Amino acid sequence: MTDPQSIPASVPLWRAAHGRTGDKGNRSNISVIAWHPALYPLIEAQITEAAVASAFAHRRPTRVQRFCLPQLQAMNFVLDEVLDGGVNDALNLDSHGKALSFLLLDLPLQVPAALLPLLRGSVC
Amino acid sequence: MTSPSLLRIACAAGFSGDRTDAAGPVVDALIAAGGPAVLIFETLAERTLALAQLARRADASAGYEPLLDDLLRPVLARCLQHGVHIVSNFGAANPDGAARHIRRLAAELGLPPPRIAVVQGDDVSGPAFRPLLRSALGPALDQRPVVSANAYLGAEAIAEALRAGAQVVVCGRVADPSLAVGPAMAHFGWAADDWTRLARATMAGHLLECGTQVSGGYYADPGVKDVPGMATLGYPIAEIDADGHCVITKPPGSGGRVDLHTVTEQLLYEVHDPAAYLTPDVVADLSAATLTELAPDRVRLAGVVGRVRPDSLKANVCFETGWLAEGEIGYAGARAEGRARLAAQVLRERLAGLGPLRADLIGVASLFGDDAGLWLADQPDGGARDVRLRVALRHNERAAAERLTREVTALYTCGPAGGGGVRTAVRPTLGTLSCLLPRAAVPAGFHWLEEPP
């Protein structure tokens, strides 16, 4: 019989990490910073360039790059051409794309039961 | 010989529009700590300079930070009396005008005339630079009225001015971190090719340059990321040592927080490849950077290394691009979302042919979406009961842009039931092109507003 404690839970990434968006021209960068060092390997394994490209598909990025900084328990995503031209050209109210970190932080993350106490926020 | 003591650099503005009462508490903290200290204000985002250039066109004495007086008046006397140097890019499109304003302000406050240096060389909008910009940008600019063209200068002219005895250094466009690198170079006597020390000071400047974004501002998310005292956030202070390492802290008793998480968010803010953070001064490498919490509200950055600076300087050219028209109308109660969606459809039909129309349902989908509307089209009607429709378009002709505002207003009688609270606006828009210019073509330096006695 499977031990229910060993079944991973799917949680939104914001429970395991936080981040901030920066912009330069038509390029956005979004940091993803684990709340705890023990959560970082899970995040690095699951929050891939492909996963982020998929979450931003409607923004039609021409390139998604990921840079890993394990000693900071952090990753930096760089998304090219996702700002509809950027601060001067986009029709978006948020022409900087400041809100986009919260789109990334909605990605699902599978977390083993043993690590659930490290998550923040009580509900999904 | 003992090594020079710590240099404290505080940042009291992270953009034009930041809180103007920020400087008082950080200046108090710098004076209480004693020792060499610098106060910086970063007030020049990508677009701010073009707006300043337009202001200067309208009034030749304007064109620098409009809130300069509010920023400096509360602290100028204490800074000058206690040897706290002031370095800022609040000169914007008119650094000499800003310098004259500061001299007037000092006189009003009954202070002796301060030694004010003005950094020059960033403005490349003059006719002499046009062939250079044309070769860097191609024909893109030929049909566009140029509003501003500025190169991002580095720290060297700031350092020279401070070494020559400046108490206040007024800049236009310089790279934001250079506002901190210049004072560190001057204080510690670093050479302009001391890459690793310059890289460390660059990252200290990077952590400072957005004001409270490193000390609890732009961070809070109730229940997940809690920040105490957000109405009285402490602006950051970097304690820089002779090797360029820094400790980030904030004034005692101020609101906010400085911890591993707030500092990491800001460390990566607007960074692309962490192994190559480019500035006019150096290429900084964060690959092995480490952060350590030494005590509450004290975080040390170490492990940054530097490599030789780029051969070229980045320049931004701003030009007029036409007009942005926006309009809003609100719907509430039963089927509000459906009525707002219908209003958007009506506007699409009425404005067809005028160019791409963006439609947002504020309260349903307004920020994550793309201008083409792919995101919104994917969101089914969720039955929202309080929705504001916002539409926007851009056009070269003002009269055409104004058609949007009239069509939104006409929804009062011709639109779906119960729409209210129409707001419309039309404003001129600016575009920006970036290019790289050879460093030698953009000579930077400084001059005195007034020769020091």
Binary contact (B368, A18; C-beta < 8 A):
no
How many Å apart are CA B118 and CA B99, to the nearest integer? 7
Position A105 scores a pLDDT of: 98
> Considering CB atoms only, which of B261, B303, B394 is closest to A91?
B394
How many Å apart are CA B433 and CA B8, to the nearest integer? 36
**A19: nearest CA partner in chain B:** B265
Position A88 scores a pLDDT of: 77
User: Which residues in chain B show pLDDT less than 70?
Assistant: 1-4, 450-453
Torsion, CA B407, CA B409, CA B412, CA B415, rounded to 10 = 20
The one-letter amino acid code at A3 reads D
Position A87 scores a pLDDT of: 78
Separation in Å, CA of A5 to nearest CA in chain B? 25
| Domains of chain B with CATH codes | 7-310 (no CATH), 317-434 (3.30.70)
Binary contact (A29, B272; C-beta < 8 A):
yes
Size of chain A in residues:
124
In total, the C-beta contacts within 8 angstroms joining chain A to chain B are: 119
How many Å apart are CA B162 and CA B166, to the nearest integer? 5
Q: How far is CA B109 from CA B66, B115, B298, B453, in A?
A: 19, 15, 35, 20
> Considering CB atoms only, which of B269, B274, B288 is closest to A67?
B274
What is the band of A122 on the pLDDT scale with cuts at 50, 70, 90? confident
- pLDDT > 70? residue A111: yes
Tell me the per-residue pLDDT of A41-100, one tens digit each, with 9 for 90 and over.
Answer: 999 999 999 999 999 999 999 999 999 999 999 999 999 999 988 877 889 999 999 999
Interface of A with B (CB under 8 A): 14-15, 18-20, 22-25, 27, 29, 31, 33, 35, 58-60, 65, 67, 69, 71-74, 76, 78, 84, 86-94, 99-100, 103, 120-122
Position B186 scores a pLDDT of: 98
| CB B452, CB B165: distance < 8 Å | yes
| CB B196, CB B244: distance < 8 Å | yes
Separation in Å, CA of B222 to nearest CA in chain A? 9
Residue B69: its H or E element: helix B68-72
How many Å apart are CA B65 and CA B53, to the nearest integer? 11
DSSP 3-state assignment of B288? coil
How many Å apart are CA B453 and CA B446, to the nearest integer? 17
- pLDDT > 60? residue A27: yes
> Considering CB atoms only, which of B261, B265, B368 is closest to A103?
B368
Binary contact (A24, B272; C-beta < 8 A):
yes
Q: What is the 3-state secondary structure (H, E, C) of A29-84?
A: EEEEEECCHHHHHHHHHHCCHHHHHHHCHHHCCCEEEEEEEHHHCEEEEEEECCCC
**B217: nearest CA partner in chain A:** A20
Q: Is the dihedral of CA B126, B131, B134, B139 positive or negative?
A: positive
pTM across the whole model: 0.95
Binary contact (A31, B268; C-beta < 8 A):
yes
CA nearest neighbour of A109 among A10, A7, A19, A32: A10
> Considering CB atoms only, which of A69, A88, A93 is closest to B360?
A93
CA nearest neighbour of B303 among B258, B246, B237, B261: B246
Sort out which chain B residues have CB atoms less than 8 A from A91's CB and list them. 324, 356, 358, 371, 392-394
Position B2 scores a pLDDT of: 42
- Domain ranges for chain A: 15-111
Position B141 scores a pLDDT of: 80
Binary contact (B265, A18; C-beta < 8 A):
yes
- pLDDT > 50? residue A110: yes
Residue B362: its H or E element: strand B358-362
How many Å apart are CA B77 and CA A86, to the nearest integer? 41
Sort out which chain A residues have CB atoms less than 8 A from B227's CB and list them. none
How many Å apart are CA B39 and CA B30, to the nearest integer? 9
Position B45 scores a pLDDT of: 87
Separation in Å, CA of A1 to nearest CA in chain B? 36
Position B5 scores a pLDDT of: 85
Strands, E, within B111-268: which ranges? 116-120, 146-151, 168-170, 237-240, 246-249
Sort out which chain B residues have CB atoms less than 8 A from A19's CB and list them. 265
Binary contact (A87, B46; C-beta < 8 A):
yes
**B326: nearest CA partner in chain A:** A91
The helix, strand and coil proportions of chain A, stated in percent and rounded to the nearest 5, come to: 30, 30, 40
Class for the domain spanning A15-111: alpha beta
Mutate: best of B262, B367, B429, B430, partner A, most A CBs <10 A: B367
